[in-house]
Amino acid sequence: SNRTFTMIKPDAMKNGHAGAILDRIIKEGFRVVALKMTKLSEEKAGEFYAIHRERPFFGELVEFMSSGPIIAAILEKENAVSSFRTLIGATNPANADEGTIRKLFATSVGENAVHGSDSDENAAIEGAFFFSGLEQI
């Protein structure tokens, strides 16, 4: 598929990087299909990251992701999932390539500025978690 799903996470929002991150995403040729600012409850954050329920960092992840506003968006480009994951860089910013969004804007492996779906299937599930069909332009 040609779509992926992203969130600008609470650390990047709080640190004032949302505009620069969106600018970079658009300049890299992604079309914005849907976009909103919202705030996840702990319950909703736990639901979104349910796949990580058994991981040692799950509690920390849920607390962080519900700690402040986020921006959620669906993006469209050829090979959207893999090309977006290349743009954001490794999960841990210490391992992220120069020029990637996480290298530029992330704080730590937990507070890593952005989310990017890891498969076409998850992109569709995650997009539908935040947006109805009518909200996808």
Question: Which residues would be at the binding site for ligand ATP (CB under 6 A)?
Answer: 57, 60-61, 91, 109-110, 112, 115-116, 118
Residue 33 vs 88, nearer CB to ligand ATP: 88
Tell me how far apart the alpha carbons of residues 106 and 68 are, in angstroms, rounded to a whole number: 16
- Kindly state the smallest distance separating residue 116's Cβ from ligand ATP, in Å: 5
Smaller CB separation from ligand ATP, 43 or 137: 43
C-alpha span between 38 and 94 (Å, rounded):
28
- The neighbour count for residue 114, using CB atoms within 10 Å, is 24
Closest distance between ligand ATP and the C-beta of residue 94, in Å?
Answer: 12
**Residue 19 beta carbon to ligand ATP: minimum distance, rounded to whole angstroms:** 20
Known active-site residue 115: yes
Please state, in angstroms and rounded to a whole number, the distance separating the CA atoms of residues 66 and 45: 6
Handedness of CA 78, 80, 81, 87 (dihedral sign): positive
Structural tokens at position 15: 């640190």
Q: Which of 115, 117, 123, 130 is catalytic?
A: 115
Catalytic residue IDs: 115
